Structure 1
C-alpha cells in the first residue's frame, strides 16, 4: 500500500467538535481535524470567520434546496470540491450512488 495514504498522521483524522451559531441556534459539529483545517482555509479566503462561512453555506443551501439532511457530510464534500478546484481537477457534477463515475 502506498505510504502517502496509510502514513497519514493520526492527528489529522482525529474528530474535533466545534460549537457554531447558525441562524441564532448554537449547534455542535463534529469533523476530522483535517476537514476543519480546510474549512478554516476556505473561510479565510472568502473573508469570513469559519462560523460565519458555515452560516452562509447553511443559509444558501436551505434557500436553494430547503433542507440539509446531513450538514457535516455536506461540509466534507465542500472540502473535497475545494481541493479538486485547487488541483484543477474536473469531477462530474452528477454522479449517483449506484453509478460511480471515475475521472482519468
Structure 2
C-alpha cells in the first residue's frame, strides 16, 4: 500500500511560493505543488483566479473567526476538506 504514496512524483511535493494580495497587502505563501494544483481547480470551479479565490476564503475566515493565524495551514486544510467532500458520494455509493 505504501508504494502508491512512495512512488509519487517528487514534483508534486516540491514547494512553490506565490505572491497574493489579501485585503490590500501583498503576501507570499509557500505550499507544495499538489496543494497549488487543488487550489487552482477550486478557483477555476468558482470562475476566479487562484489569488481571488484565496482572497475570498481569507476574507470569509477573517469575518467569521477574526483572524487567520496560519494561511498556509488554512489552505492545506481547505484542500483536504474539499477532497473529503468530493470523496463522500463515492463512499456512500460503494
Give the TM-score of the pair, scaled to structure 1. Answer: 0.82
Segments of 5+ residues of structure 2 without an aligned counterpart are: 90-94
The answer for the alignment partner of 2:88 in structure 1 is 88
Cα distance in 1 for partners of 2:6, 2:59 equals 37
Q: How does 1:23-102 map to 2 (within 5 A)?
A: 23-88=23-88
The answer for the alignment partner of 1:100 in structure 2 is none
Cα distance in 2 for partners of 1:43, 1:4 equals 28
Instruction: Give CA-to-partner distance per residue, 1:52-103, whole Å, 9 cap, x none.
Output: 00000000000000011101001000001111111117xxxxxxxxxxxxxx
Instruction: Count how many residue pairs are aligned between Structure 1 and Structure 2.
Output: 89
Specify which structure has the bigger relative contact order, considering alpha-carbon pairs within 8 angstroms and separated by 6 or more residues: 2
Segments of 5+ residues of structure 1 without an aligned counterpart are: 90-104
The answer for the alignment partner of 1:98 in structure 2 is none
Which structure carries more helix by proportion? 2
